[in-house]
Structure 1
């Protein structure tokens, strides 16, 4: 039985985190500024004209959605860019010939990308607390769910990074698929506010379950049952794991 190569995993993780450190100011300042603008526009201008949603003030209601919005984008970008660069420069062959298993390689890249995404999400939470007092009903579950979603979307980003033939294609999935689904998934509103048939159609959006599961950890209430949200998140995670396994099994766009 092969021995776990902790040093190799740590080398990949450290390299990716150092890349994040070189752009630390930009990586943290941008989400903080963006969150502030969201609170000025939605929290103050619009939120002051809206009542509470399920007993939660509107400004507090959008905090989990804003964290998920940033988490999705950060997870996909960091993971896809991290694995795409070795393919672009040709160093992917050195990585494939190193004494690292597929699991260890994915663990290094996805672990680093998830760490960066979670840090950014927590910065957004800290920024939100400047404007309002955010009370978290289940803080441990919130952190666990945050890590679960970050890991899932980092795996998805890893797949995108291998699939993309160029840097332009890295932006297609986040911009044209994930971001629209996120905005339509209840970031700024409760899906109960939608008329039929739009409310029923919204339930086919997988992002709805991720956002509502995370919102439940904050307020103990959501538009979708927590068990259903966890089930959908687990299903998405299983699909991503299966696709990553298939990529390394077949060498899809790794060895060509």
Structure 2
């Protein structure tokens, strides 16, 4: 009897055994996420760049005569890196969160749940796809703001570290927001009441040290402050906060969020029900 149970019919394909990481599956999921936002590039890439240029017009061109240099840096050169980082943060978050909420509402989550993809591989695929959109929009935005502000290159390492880490971090936040949300209203609430306030109140347009207490101290507990401050330091060579703290905070938060995403994917919370 045991021989009959263990015998496979002739010609039946053997299930594929993946050792380690299913790189083919991860690469396929990553390409899916990238092609998804490139297919509507006017909305996902061009529109954020236009929004950033409007900020530049309002805060730099229209107010340039009334805003003195900040720490010896012209106002336009101070604001431009912060706007680029804002574009990276917002678009990395939007890519992962919109992909997951659309899959849940439209019933297409089986596209990535049925293939042999582990929770870790799902985390890698979605976060890298989100990071790609964030970095791409950031690069295009940086090129487009050059007519308004001269972007120097004081420390390429800081630019790369904070740019890549920020895109991954917000991509992971987007994954969690997309998994938690059951309708677009909930996702919009996360965007409007969490992501947007944290990015706007992180020193993009001003020096945090000039805020009255306790707001100046509270701002140093905002992780977005360290992302924007460190990224800006890579261009202008000056940081308002501690770069060492910023590097540690951004790295630890990214790893912690990756672990949380992995745990949520493994549990199937609000995804397989």
Task: State the TM-score, normalized to the length of structure 2.
Answer: 0.87
Give the corresponding residue for 1:244.
261
**C-alpha distance in 1 between matches for 2:110 and 2:56:** 46
1:73–1:210 distance in 2 versus 1, CA, 3 Å: same
Q: Do the aligned partners of 1:69 and 1:179 also contact (CA within 8 Å) in 2?
A: no
- 2:84 aligned residue: 67
Within 5 Å, give how 1:1-256 maps onto structure 2.
2-256=19-273
- Structure 1 window deviating more from structure 2 (32-41 vs 75-84): it is 32-41
Q: Is the 8 A contact 1:114 1:147 kept in 2?
A: yes
Q: Give the Cα–Cα distance (whole angstroms) in 2 for the partners of residues 250 and 27 of structure 1.
A: 31
Structure 1 runs, 4 residues or longer, greater than 6 Å off: none
Residues 33, 96 of structure 1: CA spacing in aligned structure 2 closer, same or farther, 3 A cutoff? closer
Residues 228-247 of structure 1: per-residue CA shift (max 9 Å, x gap): 11122123213312311221
Could you give the per-residue CA deviations for residues 59-108 of structure 1, whole angstroms, max 9, x where no partner exists?
A: 01011211122222111110111222222233324532321111222222
- When structure 1 is superposed on structure 2, of 203-212 and 168-177 the one drifting more is 203-212
CA deviations over 1:18-47 (Å, ceiling 9, x no partner): 221221123232222222221221112223
Check the 8 A contact 2:131/2:171 in 1, yes or no.
yes
| Conserved? CA contact 2:122–2:265, under 8 Å | no
1:126-155: per-residue Cα shift (whole Å, max 9, x none)?
A: 111022221121124312320111001101
What TM-score, normalized to structure 1?
A: 0.93
Q: Is this contact kept in 2: 1:93–1:255, CA < 8 A?
A: no
Secondary structure of the residue aligned to 1:54 is: coil
- Which structure 1 segments of 5+ residues have no match? none
In the TM superposition, residue 178 of structure 1 has moved relative to its aligned partner by 1.2
Unaligned runs of 5+ in 2: 1-17
- Tell me which moved more, 173-182 or 244-253: 244-253
Distance, in Å, in 2 between the alignment partners of 1:36 and 1:95 is 36
C-alpha separation in 1, matches of 2:125 and 2:267: 20
Structure 1 CA distance, aligned partners of 2:42 and 2:106?
26
Q: Aligned equivalents of 2:187 and 2:84: distance in 1?
A: 22
Does the Cα contact within 8 Å between 1:43 and 1:59 map onto a contact in 2?
A: yes
- Give a deviation string over 1:4-31, Cα, whole Å, max 9, x none: 2222112112222222122112323222
Q: Measured at CA, do residues 31 and 248 of structure 1 come closer, stay the same or move farther in structure 2, by a change above 3 Å?
A: closer
Please give the alpha-carbon distance, in whole angstroms, between the structure 2 residues aligned to 1:206 and 1:137.
22
Name whichever structure is richer in helix by fraction: 1
For residues 114 and 58 of structure 2, the distance between their equivalents in structure 1, rounded to whole angstroms, comes to 51
- Give me the CA root mean square deviation: 1.7
